[in-house]
Each structure stands twice: as C-alpha cells, then as structure tokens.
C-alpha cells in the first residue's frame, strides 16, 4: 500500500519543512492538488509551486489537475517536475489523446473520477492509463468527510482494469478507519491530507494508515468488505 500525503492540508508557510517530515516519515508519493476556481470552487497552486517542490523532495510528485482545459497546461506541469499527471474524465473530452500526450511528455498518466461519475468511461483508455483516482469527496476543498458509497466503485474500477498493473488511488477524507476497507476493495494508493498533516506526528499517521491497509490484506478481508479484490 502506498501513502500519498496531500499538501492541500499542509502549512503553506512552512511547506518545505512539512514535506521533509512526510518524506522522512515514509511517504511514497506527494499529492499536489491543482484547482482553477472553474472546474472546482477553489484556487490553489500552479507549476511554480510544483517546480519549488521538485527542488525540495525526491518523492514522486503526483499532480492532480482539477482544472478545465487541462491539455493547455500538461507541458508546463511536466517541465516543472510532475512525475504523474491526473486529469478528470469530466474535464477531458478527448481523454485518450490527453493521456497519450502526458506519456509523450515523459510523465505517467492518470484519470480521476468524481463521486457521481461511473467508471464506464475508462473502458476505452485502459491501455493508456497508469493510475485511476477515485474521489471519495466532491473535489474542491480539504477536510471533507469520506463518502462510503465509493467503496463498491473502487472494486468496480479494479475489476475493470483486470490484471493491468495500474494503480487505484483514493482521495478525500481518508483516515485510518477507511484504510482497511479500501485496501480490501482494491485500492493500492491512499491519498491523505488532514489525516497526515493534521496529525501531531505525521510519520506515525503514515505508518498507521499503511499498517491498517496491510493488516486488512493479510487478514484476507476488511470488516464489512467482500472477498479481497485482485492486486495489481
């Protein structure tokens, strides 16, 4: 199980120090939410911040584009240091072309699904995607409560992917109590903002999330979950 702390919940006045703490604490990725005030009702960061982060961490930068017209900015974010670019299925009318372009630029390509968006649109890009991000809140703001209705959706996405080595990531309100069920349903990456950066000890929070997920997998199932989904 990979843990991707989301900087949306970090102290931006001390961002370098916050990133250093989670890197030392065992984070696998750093999740960067980019919002434009149009696709979602909030504004956050752009390529300049991604470039600054690239200089301060060796962690892969998982950049989540919650923006309209993402194709206009793909090259800018890859040049800034993004290792993985995720676009929303709802914002990319020519999704296969967008994913192919991300890969051409040298980054891994991801597709995000809002809570009410069915996974069916992924069927025609299964060989073009490296990660599927299942949103477990409506995107735009940190600190929201996890929507349990996305659990069967995670399983559906994993089944749709078949045996492809594609990551299934879940983002939004993820806490230790959700880690086990998400792992059992097929998630392989947990994005956590408040649960990590809002904790007194971010490193301990990362360990707790990973332990809860891996304990559930070792046990064969999580409380209330069906039989474990195939792993990538």
Give me the catalytic one of 28, 62, 130, 171: 171
For residue 108, how far is the Cα from the chain centroid? Answer: 13
Verify whether residue 62 is a known catalytic residue. no
Residues 6 or more apart whose Cβ sits within 8 Å of residue 99: 87, 109, 111, 125, 128, 129
Structural contact between residues 213 and 184, judged by C-beta atoms closer than 8 angstroms: no
Least Cα distance to 171 among 50, 43, 62 occurs for 62
Considering the candidates 11, 28, 33, 201, report the single residue annotated as catalytic: 33
Does the annotation count 171 as an active-site position? yes
DSSP one-letter code for 50: H
**CA–CA separation, 119 and 130 (whole Å):** 15
Residues annotated as part of the active site? 33, 171
């Amino acid at each position: 199980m990979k843990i991707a702390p989301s900087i949306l919940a970090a102290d931006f006045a001390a961002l370098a120090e916050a990133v250093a703490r989670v890197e030392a604490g065992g984070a696998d990725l750093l999740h960067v939410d980019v919002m434009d005030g149009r696709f979602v009702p909030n504004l956050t960061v752009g390529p300049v911040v991604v470039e600054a982060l690239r200089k301060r961490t060796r962690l892969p930068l998982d950049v989540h584009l919650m923006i309209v017209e993402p194709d206009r900015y793909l090259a800018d974010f890859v040049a800034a240091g993004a290792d993985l670019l995720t676009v929303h299925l709802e914002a990319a009318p020519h999704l296969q072309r967008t994913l192919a372009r991300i890969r051409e630029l040298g980054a891994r390509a991801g597709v995000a699904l809002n809570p009410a968006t069915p996974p069916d649109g992924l069927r025609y890009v299964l060989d073009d995607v490296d990660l599927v991000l299942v949103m477990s809140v409506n995107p735009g703001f940190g600190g929201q409560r996890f929507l349990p209705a996305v659990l069967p959706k995670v399983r559906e996405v994993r089944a749709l992917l078949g045996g492809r080595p594609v990551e299934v990531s879940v983002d939004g309100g993820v806490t230790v109590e959700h880690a086990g069920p998400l792992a059992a349903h097929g998630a392989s990456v947990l994005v956590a903002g408040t649960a990590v950066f809002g904790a007194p000890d971010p490193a301990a929070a990362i360990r707790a999330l990973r332990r809860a997920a891996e304990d559930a997998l070792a046990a064969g199932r999580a409380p209330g979950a069906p039989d474990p989904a195939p792993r990538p």
